[in-house]
Amino acid sequence: MATAHHNLSEYNKENIPNGADFKIGIVVSEWNDSITFNLLKGAKEALIENGVKEENIIVKLVPGAFELPLGAQWLCQDRMIDGVIAIGVVIQGETRHFDFVCEGATQGIMNVGLKFDKPVAFCVLTDNHIQQSIDRSGGKHGNKGIECAVACMKMIGLKKSL
Protein backbone atom coordinates (compact mmCIF):
# COMPACT_ATOMS: atom_id res chain seq x y z
CA MET A 1 0.00 0.00 0.00
CA ALA A 2 1.43 3.36 -1.05
CA THR A 3 0.29 5.18 2.08
CA ALA A 4 1.39 2.59 4.62
CA HIS A 5 2.91 4.36 7.63
CA HIS A 6 3.19 7.71 5.82
CA ASN A 7 1.71 11.12 6.56
CA LEU A 8 1.27 12.46 3.04
CA SER A 9 0.00 15.88 4.11
CA GLU A 10 3.38 17.46 4.76
CA TYR A 11 4.41 20.05 2.19
CA ASN A 12 6.97 22.77 1.60
CA LYS A 13 5.37 26.22 1.92
CA GLU A 14 7.99 27.63 -0.43
CA ASN A 15 6.39 25.64 -3.28
CA ILE A 16 2.91 27.12 -2.73
CA PRO A 17 1.82 30.38 -4.34
CA ASN A 18 0.74 33.11 -1.96
CA GLY A 19 -3.05 32.99 -1.82
CA ALA A 20 -3.64 36.58 -0.70
CA ASP A 21 -5.56 37.33 -3.91
CA PHE A 22 -7.27 33.93 -4.23
CA LYS A 23 -10.95 33.30 -3.67
CA ILE A 24 -11.68 29.63 -3.14
CA GLY A 25 -14.96 27.77 -2.84
CA ILE A 26 -15.28 24.59 -0.82
CA VAL A 27 -18.25 22.29 -1.28
CA VAL A 28 -18.62 19.71 1.51
CA SER A 29 -20.76 16.61 1.78
CA GLU A 30 -22.79 16.38 4.99
CA TRP A 31 -22.84 12.58 4.74
CA ASN A 32 -20.21 11.16 7.13
CA ASP A 33 -19.69 14.66 8.51
CA SER A 34 -17.35 13.48 11.26
CA ILE A 35 -14.92 12.78 8.41
CA THR A 36 -15.81 15.52 5.93
CA PHE A 37 -15.69 18.29 8.52
CA ASN A 38 -12.17 17.15 9.53
CA LEU A 39 -11.18 17.36 5.86
CA LEU A 40 -12.74 20.83 5.69
CA LYS A 41 -10.79 21.90 8.78
CA GLY A 42 -7.52 20.74 7.21
CA ALA A 43 -8.29 22.47 3.90
CA LYS A 44 -9.20 25.77 5.53
CA GLU A 45 -6.12 25.73 7.77
CA ALA A 46 -3.84 25.09 4.76
CA LEU A 47 -5.48 27.85 2.72
CA ILE A 48 -5.18 30.40 5.54
CA GLU A 49 -1.61 29.31 6.31
CA ASN A 50 -0.75 30.09 2.68
CA GLY A 51 -2.28 33.55 2.61
CA VAL A 52 -5.91 33.05 1.61
CA LYS A 53 -8.08 35.44 3.61
CA GLU A 54 -10.78 33.72 5.62
CA GLU A 55 -13.44 35.93 4.04
CA ASN A 56 -12.29 34.63 0.62
CA ILE A 57 -13.09 31.03 1.54
CA ILE A 58 -16.71 30.25 0.66
CA VAL A 59 -18.02 27.00 2.19
CA LYS A 60 -21.26 25.39 1.02
CA LEU A 61 -22.78 22.10 2.16
CA VAL A 62 -24.45 19.45 0.02
CA PRO A 63 -26.22 16.28 1.22
CA GLY A 64 -23.77 13.71 -0.11
CA ALA A 65 -20.85 12.95 -2.42
CA PHE A 66 -23.10 12.51 -5.44
CA GLU A 67 -24.21 16.15 -5.09
CA LEU A 68 -20.64 17.51 -5.01
CA PRO A 69 -20.34 18.11 -8.78
CA LEU A 70 -23.44 20.28 -8.94
CA GLY A 71 -22.41 22.19 -5.81
CA ALA A 72 -18.94 22.71 -7.34
CA GLN A 73 -20.54 23.87 -10.58
CA TRP A 74 -22.65 26.46 -8.79
CA LEU A 75 -19.54 27.78 -7.04
CA CYS A 76 -17.60 27.87 -10.32
CA GLN A 77 -20.33 29.98 -11.91
CA ASP A 78 -19.15 32.83 -9.68
CA ARG A 79 -16.50 34.55 -11.82
CA MET A 80 -14.72 35.78 -8.68
CA ILE A 81 -13.98 32.23 -7.47
CA ASP A 82 -10.56 31.03 -8.66
CA GLY A 83 -10.93 27.37 -7.70
CA VAL A 84 -13.02 24.89 -5.76
CA ILE A 85 -12.29 22.03 -3.39
CA ALA A 86 -14.89 19.23 -3.39
CA ILE A 87 -14.89 17.31 -0.09
CA GLY A 88 -16.69 14.04 0.54
CA VAL A 89 -16.31 10.44 1.60
CA VAL A 90 -17.83 7.23 0.30
CA ILE A 91 -17.34 4.08 2.35
CA GLN A 92 -17.76 0.65 0.79
CA GLY A 93 -20.98 -1.08 1.76
CA GLU A 94 -22.65 -4.34 0.83
CA THR A 95 -24.04 -3.18 -2.53
CA ARG A 96 -22.75 -1.60 -5.75
CA HIS A 97 -24.09 1.79 -4.63
CA PHE A 98 -20.49 2.63 -3.65
CA ASP A 99 -19.33 2.16 -7.26
CA PHE A 100 -22.06 4.33 -8.74
CA VAL A 101 -21.57 7.17 -6.26
CA CYS A 102 -17.78 7.12 -6.63
CA GLU A 103 -17.94 7.06 -10.42
CA GLY A 104 -20.55 9.83 -10.61
CA ALA A 105 -18.72 12.07 -8.17
CA THR A 106 -15.35 11.52 -9.81
CA GLN A 107 -16.49 12.08 -13.36
CA GLY A 108 -18.74 14.98 -12.38
CA ILE A 109 -16.05 16.84 -10.44
CA MET A 110 -13.57 16.43 -13.28
CA ASN A 111 -16.14 17.66 -15.81
CA VAL A 112 -16.88 20.79 -13.77
CA GLY A 113 -13.23 21.81 -13.75
CA LEU A 114 -12.92 21.31 -17.49
CA LYS A 115 -16.23 23.07 -18.23
CA PHE A 116 -15.37 26.18 -16.22
CA ASP A 117 -11.60 26.13 -16.86
CA LYS A 118 -10.97 26.32 -13.11
CA PRO A 119 -9.20 24.00 -10.72
CA VAL A 120 -11.64 21.73 -8.90
CA ALA A 121 -9.68 19.67 -6.40
CA PHE A 122 -10.94 16.15 -5.77
CA CYS A 123 -11.03 15.55 -2.01
CA VAL A 124 -13.35 12.56 -1.97
CA LEU A 125 -12.20 9.64 0.11
CA THR A 126 -13.26 6.28 -1.32
CA ASP A 127 -12.44 3.86 1.46
CA ASN A 128 -13.18 0.26 2.30
CA HIS A 129 -14.02 1.02 5.94
CA ILE A 130 -14.38 3.91 8.36
CA GLN A 131 -10.90 3.47 9.87
CA GLN A 132 -9.30 4.25 6.50
CA SER A 133 -11.34 7.46 6.37
CA ILE A 134 -10.28 8.40 9.90
CA ASP A 135 -6.64 7.75 9.01
CA ARG A 136 -6.90 10.11 6.00
CA SER A 137 -8.87 12.91 7.67
CA GLY A 138 -6.39 13.89 10.35
CA GLY A 139 -5.11 10.47 11.39
CA LYS A 140 -1.90 8.59 10.72
CA HIS A 141 -1.94 9.30 6.97
CA GLY A 142 -2.47 13.02 7.42
CA ASN A 143 -5.40 15.03 6.15
CA LYS A 144 -6.38 14.85 2.49
CA GLY A 145 -8.09 18.23 2.93
CA ILE A 146 -4.65 19.79 3.32
CA GLU A 147 -3.36 18.00 0.23
CA CYS A 148 -6.31 19.12 -1.88
CA ALA A 149 -6.04 22.72 -0.69
CA VAL A 150 -2.37 22.71 -1.70
CA ALA A 151 -3.21 21.16 -5.09
CA CYS A 152 -5.94 23.74 -5.70
CA MET A 153 -3.62 26.63 -4.83
CA LYS A 154 -0.85 25.26 -7.06
CA MET A 155 -3.27 24.94 -9.97
CA ILE A 156 -4.62 28.48 -9.44
CA GLY A 157 -1.03 29.72 -9.38
CA LEU A 158 -0.24 27.82 -12.57
CA LYS A 159 -3.26 29.26 -14.36
CA LYS A 160 -2.42 32.82 -13.26
CA SER A 161 1.16 32.34 -14.51
CA LEU A 162 0.09 31.44 -18.04
Q: What is the pLDDT of residues 49-86, one digit of tens each?
A: 999 999 999 999 999 999 999 999 999 999 999 999 99
Residue 98 · residue 133 · CB < 8 Å: no
Confirm whether 97 is a catalytic residue.
Answer: yes
Task: Please give the order of strands across the beta sheet that includes 120-127.
Answer: 57-62, 24-29, 83-91, 120-127
Fold of domain 33-161 = Rossmann fold (3.40.50)
Does position 1 have pLDDT exceeding 60, yes or no? no
Residue of 5, 6, 97, 141 marked catalytic:
97
With both helix axes pointing from N to C terminus, report the angle between 97-116 and 68-76 in degrees, rounded to the nearest 10.
10
| pLDDT tens digits, 88-135 | 999 998 888 888 998 999 999 999 999 999 999 999 999 999 999 999
